[in-house]
Amino acid sequence: MRLFAAIFLVGLLCGGSASAAVSTAPLLALNAYIEGSGNCDERAVEWNRKYNARTIAGEVSRAFYYRVIGYQEWGDCGRPYFKDIFGELQKIWLIFGKGRVSEAEIEAKESELINLMFAALKAGNRGGALVQRYERQTTIRLINLVPDRQYFNCTFFGDNAQCTD
């Protein structure tokens, strides 16, 4: 539990800092979780070692990193809801890549999703319900968009809906 608290604190402290570049705190927090859990699948650990550093360095897009890591076999450190969270992370980075949100907006949303992941992990058996509640609340808001949109391609940055298309 201390590992989760430390990672969560790093995300909160670094994720809100203003800088010219987008914060790497979410990537560092994920790396700390994967490296520190001690029970992740070795292939996932090795993949993360290679691609987390390259993503932090800007050599690999975060959309790619989140897409692939969402499909990794995590072993005992993984949870069924990881795929949903990483899918949402991939979506927000695709939206950012199209220039539809600012650095501040992408940092806030990425931090929200990483914090959701760690809150779900901390909640244990109730973690999946936290992620489902986030998805349900987001879907309800997206279904009511005017004009109608393919809501599975969209998400909210604060009160503003943005889509990949």
What is this structure's pTM?
Answer: 0.86
Q: What's the one-letter identity of residue 164?
A: T
Predicted confidence (pLDDT) per residue in 99-114, tens digit: 999 999 999 999 999 9
Work out the number of other CB atoms within 10 angstroms of the CB of residue 57: 9
Grade residue 90 by pLDDT with cuts at 50, 70 and 90: very high
Q: How far is CA 103 from the centre of its chain?
A: 15
Asked which of 50-54, 66-70, 116-120, 149-153 is least confident by mean pLDDT, the reply is: 149-153
For position 19, what pLDDT does the model report? 34
Angle between helix 82-97 and 62-70 (nearest 10)? 160
CA distance 112 to 59: 24
Which region holds residue 75: left if phi is over 0, alpha if psi is between -120 and 50, else beta? left
**CB-CB contact of 22 with 107 (8 Å):** yes
- What's the rounded Cα separation, in Å, for the pair 131 and 113? 9
Cα 157 from Cα 107, distance rounded (Å):
10
Q: Which two tokens stand for residue 104?
A: 């501040």
Tokens at residue 20, please?
């010219």
Give the pLDDT score at 14.
40
What pLDDT, in 10s, does the model give residues 14-72? Answer: 433 333 489 999 999 999 999 999 999 999 999 999 999 999 999 999 999 999 999 99
Determine the residue type at 18: A
